[in-house]
Structure 1
Amino acid sequence: MQTDDLLKQIEFIKEIDKLKYIQRRTKLFNSDRNENDAEHSWHLAMMAIILSKHSNVEIDVLKVVKMVLIHDIVEIDAGDTFIYDTTKNHTNTDEELLAAKRIFGLLPDEQGDELIAVWEEFEAGETAEAKFAKTMDRLEPLLQNASNNGGTWKEFDVDYQKVYDKKKVMQYGSTPIWNYAENLINESVEKGILKKENS
């Protein structure tokens, strides 16, 4: 039984290597190279560890780390949906749930069920851990775009209101981080790297 579990776990480990090939729209800090999903997930995990004391409430940091490490694994099958996409919704889809069941289903049942539950908790965004994980997920690309002279905001003609509306969810995970982010958004408008409205 232990050998069977190990073989399933190795298959899962091989499968998630594909995350390294899923390109995101955002680029690395001060760079013109696109970030991939594995890099994004690693960065969020580090951010969750480093910034956890700024959570609005006490959180299980390990659970947050699990959430951010696995939240985009479904994109191996479903692909990355750009947060400012106007044709496809950036919320949990049937397609993503099928992907979660297939990929996490490679693991032994107990482990697979746990990771699907953690993924669903992140997607629902209702627990303290999910709220903080989503704060990390919204903060990283904001920092990247600010470092890249507007980055994807300029590239895809995204205005202030769209950015603000997508980022304000951060306040539910961390008021201090949201205050920082809101200031950064406003500074980006002042610097001319984020326009106040579409023209």
Structure 2
Amino acid sequence: MEDIEKILNFVVEIEKLKDIYRKTKPVGLERFENSAEHSWHVCLTALMLKDYANDEVDINRVVKMLLIHDLGEFDAGDTIVYAGQTDEDKAKEAAGTSRLLNMLPDGMADEFLELWHEFEAGETADSRFAKAIDRVPPLLHNIHGDGHSWKTHGVTKEKVFSVNQRISLGSKELWSVLRNKLEDAVNAGILK
């Protein structure tokens, strides 16, 4: 029973993801996306695009990574990917992730902490694909939202292309399609 209590306390604590706002607005909405919505969106996106991964992936591991990858934002906040993360930001995010996962019963956090570190390192097929998928919704939000986040934060087309070309490490086919959409955004004046 004590383990169930710990898990329920964790479940209540992660509700706070719904109040951590990101830098992009969902397509067709005027409000900013929250981190919980982002987690759901990237997981469903991964399921739909799994057949386009460069290498065979374990989609269950990928989904787990995507569900936990932003837990550290409780303590670190959301940082726009184009600004980069400082070592201090990374340490704060790691500490926050550990703090939350360590609320779970003994031994339960280990698997998830390993997955979080694997995602951050981006060196396995599963983590490369997960990191690629993590970039998809924010790109689509901007492409279909007149570049709102890019314009607000002064993000140049060179920066968008250089940061997002790493999508090709997880899926060359996906990057090819997204690169074409980004080029269309440049031609339409959405991305300068």
In structure 2, distance between residues paired with 1:63 and 1:180: 25
In the alignment, residue 146 of structure 1 is paired with which amino acid? I
In structure 2, distance between residues paired with 1:18 and 1:77: 11
Tell me the equivalent position of 2:45: 47
**Runs of 4+, deviation exceeding 3 Å:** 88-92
Tell me the equivalent position of 1:60: 58
Within 5 A, what are the aligned runs for 1:84-163? 84-85=82-83, 88-89=85-86, 93-163=90-160
Unaligned residue ranges in structure 1 (runs of 5+) = none
Q: Tell me by how many angstroms 1:91 deviates.
A: 9.4
Residues 58 and 74 of structure 1: CA distance in aligned 2, closer, same or farther (over 3 Å): same
Pick the structure with more strand per residue: 1
Kept in 2: contact 1:26–1:145 (CA 8 A): yes
Query: Scaled by the length of structure 1, what TM-score is found?
Result: 0.93
Residues 116 and 174 of structure 1: CA distance in aligned 2, closer, same or farther (over 3 Å): same
In structure 2, distance between residues paired with 1:89 and 1:185: 27
Tell me the equivalent position of 2:78: 80
In structure 2, distance between residues paired with 1:11 and 1:116: 18
Residues 32 and 91 of structure 1: CA distance in aligned 2, closer, same or farther (over 3 Å): farther
Aligned residues: CA RMSD: 1.4
In the alignment, residue 150 of structure 1 is paired with which amino acid? G
Kept in 1: contact 2:24–2:148 (CA 8 A): yes
Kept in 1: contact 2:53–2:171 (CA 8 A): yes
Kept in 2: contact 1:92–1:123 (CA 8 A): no
Tell me the equivalent position of 2:21: 23
Asked if 1:179 corresponds to 2:176, the answer is yes
In structure 2, distance between residues paired with 1:150 and 1:93: 27
Query: Scaled by the length of structure 2, what TM-score is found?
Result: 0.96
In structure 2, distance between residues paired with 1:7 and 1:46: 29
In structure 2, distance between residues paired with 1:71 and 1:24: 14
Q: How many equivalent pairs are there?
A: 192
In structure 2, distance between residues paired with 1:67 and 1:90: 21
